[in-house]
Amino acid sequence: MPSLPSNPVRGALLWVGLVLARLGLLDRTRVVRTTDLAWPRVVTGLARMSKSAVDVAMVGLALGSSAIAGVGFATPYWGLAFALGGGVAGGTISLVSQRYGADRFDELDRSVKASVVVALCLTLPVSALFAAFPTELVALVGTGEAAVAYGATYLRVVALGVPFAALNLVASRTLVGCDDARTPMLVRAGGAVANVGVNALLVFGLGLGVFGAAMGTVLANVLVTLAFAWGLLRGGLPLVGAFPVTLDVRGPHLDWSLARDLTDIATPLVLTNLARIGGQFPFLAVVGLFGEEVAAAFVIALRVRDLLDTPGWGFGLASSSLVGQSLGVGAEDDAASYAQDVLRFALAVYLVAAASVFAVADWVGRLFVADPAVVPLVGGFVSAVCVSVVFYGVTNGATGPLRASGDTRWPLYGQVLGLYGVALPVASLGTTTDLGVTALYLALVLETAVPAAVVYYRYRSGRWKSISRAYRPAAADD
């Protein structure tokens, strides 16, 4: 086995992939190409999710469990920015990767512009709603006067960042679809690192608490958006390098045919994301019935799960890009080979990461809060999310080829069934039976296991290959 690179994230991913290749489970060339495309996105995910975890830790250490619960009650609303923007961006990577693979560079500009217009149309009304009614919205989910007040403050401020967060996702997926995952990593991870520094200054240095944490998030998203816009319009950024796609300010600014294709592909993805985020509202409402301490422990565990899920940032998009590029030139067998290898690769990485954190689950709570009533509760929730996150590995690996091909409805079906049909009813049993908090543990696992089964079933059917033919560049000329 060759020596591994000095980059620790790339090295860790490559080590896992090469072990699987030596066992005959993966193709060595596809391991290297997947790793090269995935690791920058994993770094971006680690930076951004670490930022979210640090936010919770900062407000928890500064203000206590009520502040953690309040931020947790507001977080699903902020997550709607990523649900909407991420859905549109999923359509973007499908259109961009297929056109990039087929050397149809003339359509890249119009695909990106259509994505920007759709993202803004979706997120600007949401931003206005959050800014106008933060207390009323948080009160629908949260309990406890102090927690609701903290949550309303957080939501009122982060509302300003909703459109920027969506545009960041569109720009990032555009570059990944063109085989450039390094640039989004540098821009978005750099924004996340700056966010942590600004938050530390605002929360501890200036004593702004939850307001400071929210303001740091908004400022970071604005700066990242400006950086992407500058690079896409000028063809690159200083110290970062050239972009593989440049937008033409002279127009055309909206291609209705591409906008329709984008809408067809993105709508199920948006609905899937909304189903996932939307389910967190009743989920948190149920958790809130157990008290602020349990709610705080639950929120901490979700941040840990977000960190563990960061390999999916890389593998899901690597699969979408590599499969999409193969489909763009009609190489369906190559697309299927990439899809299979990325799925196996992703699952192995998730297993290693989850097992590592499971071993130290009881110690995690001390990193976030000093409340002796909360710390012991965190271990149980973290153990549950370590089990649940493994199923995200299946979902992310299997969703990649579906997203690349335009076959995006089945992830929605799986999300709705798993969250609303299974996880929420199981969580509710904790308030009416002797299961108590154990019901929440079970719900966390079922929330991810059921969608994984549904999406994997669709992936294994192979229908996504034929569906992709309607969205390939050649189809646009017919």
CB 120 within 8 A of CB 259: no
> Is residue 24 helix, strand or coil?
coil
Centre a 10 Å sphere on the Cβ of residue 138 and count the other Cβ atoms it contains.
Answer: 25
- Quick one: pLDDT at residue 251? 66
In eight-state DSSP terms, residue 27 is: -
Has residue 323 got a pLDDT over 80?
Answer: yes
CA R_g for the chain: 21
CB 93 within 8 A of CB 108: no
φ/ψ of 237, rounded to 5, equals -130, 145
- Quick one: pLDDT at residue 360? 87
| 72-86, 105-119, 345-359, 410-424: least confident range | 105-119
- Quick one: pLDDT at residue 458? 93
Nearest CA to 286 out of 427, 421, 186, 408 is that of: 427
Residue, of 477 and 103, whose pLDDT is higher: 103
d(CA 195, CA 48): 9
Examine residue 252 and say whether the peptide bond preceding it is cis (omega within 30 degrees of 0). yes
- Quick one: pLDDT at residue 41? 78
**478 Cα distance to chain centroid:** 35
Centre a 10 Å sphere on the Cβ of residue 219 and count the other Cβ atoms it contains.
Answer: 19
Has residue 366 got a pLDDT over 50?
Answer: yes
Residue, of 367 and 395, whose pLDDT is higher: 395
Write down the residue that tokens 């009650």 correspond to: 73
Structure tokens at 51: 């930022």
Digit-coded pLDDT (tens) for 74-111: 888 888 777 887 788 877 777 777 777 666 666 777 77
| 32-41, 129-138, 196-205, 347-356: least confident range | 196-205
Digit-coded pLDDT (tens) for 31-60: 998 998 888 878 877 777 777 777 777 777
Has residue 3 got a pLDDT over 60?
Answer: no
Has residue 21 got a pLDDT over 50?
Answer: yes
- Quick one: pLDDT at residue 391? 95
In eight-state DSSP terms, residue 193 is: H
d(CA 211, CA 199): 10
In eight-state DSSP terms, residue 5 is: P
Nearest CA to 47 out of 185, 192, 164 is that of: 192
Has residue 429 got a pLDDT over 90?
Answer: yes
- Quick one: pLDDT at residue 289? 84
d(CA 361, CA 50): 17
φ/ψ of 236, rounded to 5, equals 160, 175
Structure tokens at 255: 């291609």
Q: Burial code of 83-97, b = ≥16 C-beta within 10 A, e = fewer?
A: bbbbbbbbbbbbbbb
Has residue 474 got a pLDDT over 60?
Answer: no
Digit-coded pLDDT (tens) for 234-291: 888 887 787 777 777 776 666 676 777 777 777 777 787 777 777 777 888 888 888 8
The pTM (predicted TM-score) of the whole model is: 0.71
d(CA 317, CA 45): 12
